[in-house]
Structure 1
Amino acid sequence: MNAHIVKLEETPDGGDMQALVKGLTAYNAAQANGETPNYLVATVKDDGGKLVGGLLGATYLGWLQIQVVWLDDSVRGLGYGSELMAIAEREALRRGVQNAFVETLSFQALPFYEKLGYTVFSRLADFPPGGARYALTKKLEG
């Protein structure tokens, strides 16, 4: 019998972290007829080419998952967030995807996503303490 050691890694190795993600991705692909996430990135850059915002998402298993939306303080409130979301949603539709979901924390962007037509389907209280974590969905139409 082989002995295995299970322990908490105080300073995780980047290679181990990548191997964990790779292993889960391979397992999921085997269960999903070989489908893996198809990533999309949309960016906002200033005149000098400096990144001041963007969106990271993926289409997978018939859904668009919005994973990261970030805008520098200097460009918030100027419509770039809505533009990034519209780009991602159009690309998802182009890829044949008709549903989207996103998660956000109470101190982040709940009203922003609701304004764009996303509907809360889950609320996890006290994540972070005193706040909440929300999951939202939207039926994409084009």
Structure 2
Amino acid sequence: MIPDYKISIEIQLDSKQVDFIDKQLHDFNVGKIGDYQYTPLFLLLRDSKKNVVGGLEGFIGLGWFHIATLWVAEELRGYGYGKALLLAAEQEAINRDCLNAYLFTYSFQAPKFYQHLGYEVFGELEDFPPRHRRYFLKKSLQKNP
């Protein structure tokens, strides 16, 4: 006889339960692809007073560099700081043996910025959020022979 299971919707998450589920999936993945770790990568742009005016947050793992967040203060946009942050992060990812990079962005953010720097759209969701689009982009970090 199969036991009776019930699904519950949880509003307040118990961190031990979340950690348990994460560990179960991690252990399953390790059994398929070997041990892996995602290593964070942070770059900060600071002004002369050491105030943060931009930055990039990413993660490196499985030969890929994921750009999670790239932000530059509005008054500094258009001066090449975003490009400089992204290129510096890509170089560090290459130094850490990454072969490719990927990211998600919205139509109201900067898809053309990334495309101009060699990223290509490999997926798109319409109306996410409503009246906008979410783009999934990737780029090879390997040098062409």
Same fold (TM over 0.5): yes
Displacement of 1:29 in angstroms is 4.5
Normalization by structure 1: what TM-score?
0.83
Q: 1:63 to 1:3 in 2, by over 3 A?
A: same
Tell me, in whole angstroms, the C-alpha distance in 1 between the residues paired with 2:73 and 2:16: 30
Q: 1:78 to 1:26 in 2, by over 3 A?
A: farther
Residue number in structure 2 paired with 1:68: 69
Unmatched segments (≥5 aa) in structure 1: none
Residue number in structure 2 paired with 1:123: 124
Larger Rg: 2
Q: Secondary structure at the match of 1:117?
A: coil
Share of identical aligned residues, percent?
A: 37
Q: Secondary structure at the match of 1:65?
A: strand
- Which amino acid in the other structure matches residue 84 of structure 1? L
Tell me, in whole angstroms, the C-alpha distance in 2 between the residues paired with 1:85 and 1:70: 10
Structure 1 runs of 4+ aligned residues shifted over 3 Å read 2-32
**Equivalent residue runs for 1:1-142 within 5 Å:** 6-12=7-13, 24-25=25-26, 27-29=28-30, 31-142=32-143
Displacement of 1:70 in angstroms is 1.1
- Which amino acid in the other structure matches residue 63 of structure 1? W
- Which amino acid in the other structure matches residue 110 of structure 2? A
Q: Name the count of aligned residue pairs.
A: 142
Displacement of 1:130 in angstroms is 1.4
Tell me, in whole angstroms, the C-alpha distance in 2 between the residues paired with 1:122 and 1:91: 26
Normalization by structure 2: what TM-score?
0.81
Tell me, in whole angstroms, the C-alpha distance in 2 between the residues paired with 1:141 and 1:19: 37
Unmatched segments (≥5 aa) in structure 2: none
